[in-house]
Amino acid sequence: MQNTPVYIRALTLDDTNSLCHYRQQNRDFLALFEPIRPDSYFTYEGQQKVIEDEIMNWKKDISYGFGIFLTNNDELIGRVNLSNITRRSWQNCTIGYSIAENMQGNGYMTKAVKLAVQFAFEEASLHRVQAGVMPGNKGSIRVLEKVGFLYEGLSKYHLKIHGIWEDHEIFAITKETWDSFS
């Protein structure tokens, strides 16, 4: 944790206020990149449910959700999630992430994604991490490229974001690429 501006860790119920604050403060900004969410999602109870679900998902090995925290003051500034875990011969997951609007451009997300990918390969024993990014989200694409993700192609009408089926560019990194890149 030393010499790094951010760290990631699983959220606990003690983080509910911080997560609620993060979601409320960044609601409009993040709405451009997420599914439409009901008002109840942005309440204390809604975020408590998010954390409770993540705790269960960790235990079931189906997804791993992390908070991104500033090292100097432990402020929650973002999220990174490894979800849709598939085992057996694929050993794959999907990575998703978000950061507070006022924290963009500091390299925090690149560091957090690196930490999550490291966890995927070294702790969760996954082989491949995949990401989908809307073509216009140049900042997110730069994060993936800096971490070593490779472009695989365009998936048409991939996810319903803010009420619209959006195309996504697909990127992925495998353990072999990670080992040679990091």
pLDDT surpasses 90 at 176: yes
pLDDT digits (tens, 9 = 90+) for 78-113: 999 999 999 999 999 999 999 999 999 999 999 999
Structural domains of the chain, count: 1
pLDDT at site 153: 97
Across the chain, mean pLDDT equals 95
Exposed, middle or buried, 146 (CB in 10 Å: 0-12/13-18/19+)?
Answer: middle
Domain presence at residue 94:
yes
pLDDT digits (tens, 9 = 90+) for 43-70: 999 999 999 999 999 999 999 999 999 9
Quickly list DSSP for 86-117. E-TTT-EEEEEEEE-GGGTTSSHHHHHHHHHH
Q: The tokens of 145 are what?
A: 């490229």
Rounded CA-CA distance 66/50 in Å is 12
CA dihedral (58, 60, 62, 64) in degrees, to 10, reads 0
Q: Which domain holds residue 160?
A: 6-181
Residue 98's CB is within 10 A of a number of other CB atoms, namely: 20
Exposed, middle or buried, 120 (CB in 10 Å: 0-12/13-18/19+)?
Answer: buried
Domain presence at residue 1:
no
Exposed, middle or buried, 119 (CB in 10 Å: 0-12/13-18/19+)?
Answer: middle
Query: Tell me, what CATH number does 112's domain have?
Result: 3.40.630.30
